[in-house]
């Protein structure tokens, strides 16, 4: 299975940047879940390039639900959502057909698809394909929210500027889900914004870290081997084109400490089992323990930059220089955030439906 993910709840995506349409088929969701089309649209809006920061391409992303929803609720059969491509400026791309953009998949696509790939605008590798995940993910987010399972992501760092740490997780998540630029500390948000503008002026790009929290998952979901909560989430999260690392808690810092510091002792609180700390990020042995899930995605600097770059012409097998023209999107991290939330929700719906049955989410 290639463009399909999930067993009990599965998601299939398709499309190319400059084809007729992109889309998603979401299958296995319980019947009877309310579908909020405004929320889907608002999530799609968070994902698309826009405003003063990312102006490379403005696509309104109107979507059509082709199946699986009847009278505002899921039917239990596949939900097909199509997002037509309206701006398909195809002629921009032919001149640089065989010049591999550094950091992009042009060359690897050629190795895999032997030149038959639709190369225009990144084709099937375009970040635009994530819109399908966001549309499907919006329904998953709503379904989880109805079960009081909350997901929120902030830009923990961007261009080396740090947001504050999570404090009150529930309040922070609610605040983040009202923001289009998901930074907890507004002063830091301004600094990041400024840094992005400056970077754009230098025709360069930056990256950062997204940190996600999930609240109120029941204890006891996930598997000890292979389908650990960490494994399933990371598998899907690495689909986000710029994500190159996933850590739960602060794993890459935790490696320098001692077991006595990081073991997360258990305690009773209000007749429930909790842990005093949460370095293990809500997961022991691949399975949830009832504490919040916390993870971070490393988002590399956006590979699209507008400086001259050395590269090759892979048709001619010779060195070349590439200078991309066009408008600029120097930091996709603030848009990737909604993709992280979406993927997280889809994966969790899959795990929950597998554990508790197909009707549990209804």
Question: What residues from 273 to 332 belong to the interface with a second copy (CB under 8 A)?
Answer: 273, 275-276, 279-281, 283-290, 296, 298-305, 307, 309-312, 314, 317-319, 330
Nearest to 67 by CA among 58, 59, 57, 76: 76
| H/E stretch holding 162 | strand 161-162
Q: Using the rule CB under 8 A, is 221 a contact of a second copy? A: yes
3-state secondary structure of 172: helix
Residue 26 C-beta: closest distance to a second copy, Å: 9
3-state secondary structure of 346: helix
Q: Using the rule CB under 8 A, is 97 a contact of a second copy? A: no
Q: Using the rule CB under 8 A, is 344 a contact of a second copy? A: no
Measured CA to CA in angstroms, residue 344 lies from 106, 160, 212, 229 at distances of 28, 25, 9, 10
In sequence order, which residues have a C-beta less than 8 Å from that of residue 41 and are 6 or more positions away?
A: 61, 62, 63
Q: Using the rule CB under 8 A, is 91 a contact of a second copy? A: no
Q: Are 143 and 32 in contact (CB under 8 A)?
A: no
Q: Using the rule CB under 8 A, is 96 a contact of a second copy? A: no
Q: Using the rule CB under 8 A, is 215 a contact of a second copy? A: no
Indicate which single residue of 142, 157, 212, 342 sits in contact with a second copy (rule: CB under 8 A). Answer: 157
Q: Which is nearer to a second copy, 174 or 183 (CB)?
A: 183
Q: Using the rule CB under 8 A, is 25 a contact of a second copy? A: yes
Q: Using the rule CB under 8 A, is 191 a contact of a second copy? A: no
Q: Which stretch binds a second copy (CB under 8 A): 41-49, 112-120, 184-192, 334-342?
A: 112-120
Q: How many residues bind a second copy (CB under 8 A)?
A: 154
In sequence order, which residues have a C-beta less than 8 Å from that of residue 108 and are 6 or more positions away?
A: none
Residue 185 C-beta: closest distance to a second copy, Å: 18
Indicate which single residue of 38, 94, 167, 258 sits in contact with a second copy (rule: CB under 8 A). Answer: 258
Say how many Å lie between the first and final Cα of the chain, rounded: 27
């Amino acid at each position: 299975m290639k463009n399909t993910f999930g067993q009990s709840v599965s998601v299939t995506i398709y499309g190319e940047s400059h084809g007729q349409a992109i889309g998603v088929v979401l299958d296995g969701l319980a019947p009877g879940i309310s579908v909020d089309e405004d929320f889907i649209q608002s999530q799609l809006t968070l994902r698309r390039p826009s405003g003063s920061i990312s102006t490379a391409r403005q696509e309104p992303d109107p979507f059509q639900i082709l199946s699986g929803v009847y009278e505002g609720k899921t039917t239990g059969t596949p939900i097909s959502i199509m997002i037509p491509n309206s701006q398909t400026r195809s002629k921009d791309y032919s001149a640089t057909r065989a010049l591999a953009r550094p950091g992009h998949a042009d060359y690897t696509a050629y190795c895999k698809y032997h030149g038959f790939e639709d190369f225009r605008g990144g084709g099937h590798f375009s970040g635009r394909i994530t819109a399908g995940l966001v549309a499907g993910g919006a329904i998953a987010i709503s379904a989880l929210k109805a079960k009081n399972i909350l997901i929120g992501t902030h830009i923990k760092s961007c261009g080396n500027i740090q947001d504050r740490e999570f404090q009150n997780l529930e309040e922070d998540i609610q605040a983040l889900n009202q923001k289009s630029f998901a930074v907890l500390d507004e002063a830091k948000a301004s600094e990041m914004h400024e840094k992005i503008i400056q970077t754009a002026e230098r025709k360069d790009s930056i990256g950062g870290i997204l940190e996600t929290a999930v609240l109120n998952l029941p204890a006891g979901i996930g598997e000890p081997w292979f389908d650990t909560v960490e494994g399933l989430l990371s598998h899907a999260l690495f689909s986000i084109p710029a994500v190159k690392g996933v850590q739960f808690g602060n794993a890459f810092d935790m490696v320098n400490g001692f077991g006595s510091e990081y073991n997360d002792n258990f305690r009773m609180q209000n007749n429930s089992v909790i842990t005093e700390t949460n370095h293990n990020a809500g997961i022991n042995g691949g399975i949830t323990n009832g504490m919040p899930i916390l993870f971070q995605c490393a988002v590399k600097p956006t590979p699209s930059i507008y400086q001259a770059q050395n590269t090759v012409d892979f048709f001619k097998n010779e060195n070349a220089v590439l200078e991309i023209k066009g408008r600029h999107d120097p930091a996709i991290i603030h848009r990737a955030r909604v993709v992280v939330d979406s993927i997280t929700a889809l994966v969790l719906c899959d795990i929950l439906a597998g554990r508790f049955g197909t009707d549990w989410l209804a």
